[in-house]
Structure 1
């Protein structure tokens, strides 16, 4: 089968690099998972490339995605962020990031890691799909539905099922690289080495 990248990433070099090096690679690091949670929430209603183009600005504006620092953001800090053209200046999304940092810390105080919380919805394994076209890829799954509901109960915001399925794809809980995509096998091999297959 001829190797061909997933179609969604072809518009810019940044998109292709993200697809080739990050998307679908399994993440079990809490801080990285939290970063993607914030970014996926910011992306709601927008294209992922919009967020990707602002990612470095987000890292600066949101203190390297440090949940302990973000959880302490007050109204004054939120107002400063809403003036920052380097991020998506949507009050609900900025407040959602703060709420998520606080929920993340509450989870940790209960003795649970974010990775453990999220990966339980796939039974600690990468779900591997075998799609040939983007048209076959779902927007949500029963796993993303359950994850979304559990996160909402745990106090998280901007964690609807569609957002969480995108999060699962990005962080390698599900491998949705199309059949024939050159990034597919490296993601599977990484998952195998991590004991996630």
Structure 2
């Protein structure tokens, strides 16, 4: 009888050993740490594009300066309804916009987003003038853009000229005239 018990006991051990999964046995880890949560902040809402609504001189850029800097005579100037700093639209002799200057003062995230919208960081050259300002510049299908921001201020200059230096020159003058250094 002893042999039967011994044989049955051995059989039970062999059967149990064969039914185990192969490889190391690990106990599941307690989930005391919650899984990481990815928080993405929504991009700030951009203000609407400024529209020319009234004729008049640009309060922060002289027409003669713009004509010299952009290399074209200016036939008329229009302003947006934005306050306190309207966007200025300078037109060529054929009546087409040749240069536009947009000034935004407000939330830093919106200023940065406006600059990135005008001169996307992934596709533009880095702009660092005037000192302390950050942004980008690039040629576009119809000209060039120079866009920079500092804290909660953004300046975006678009021109129908292919030379970005013209837009940069106007941007620096606008910043200086507005006392935004």
Query: TM-score scaled to structure 1, two decimals?
Result: 0.18
Which protein has greater RCO, CA pairs closer than 8 Å, 6+ apart?
Answer: 1
Query: TM-score scaled to structure 2, two decimals?
Result: 0.19
Normalized per residue, the structure richer in strand is: 2
Higher Rg of the two aligned structures: 2
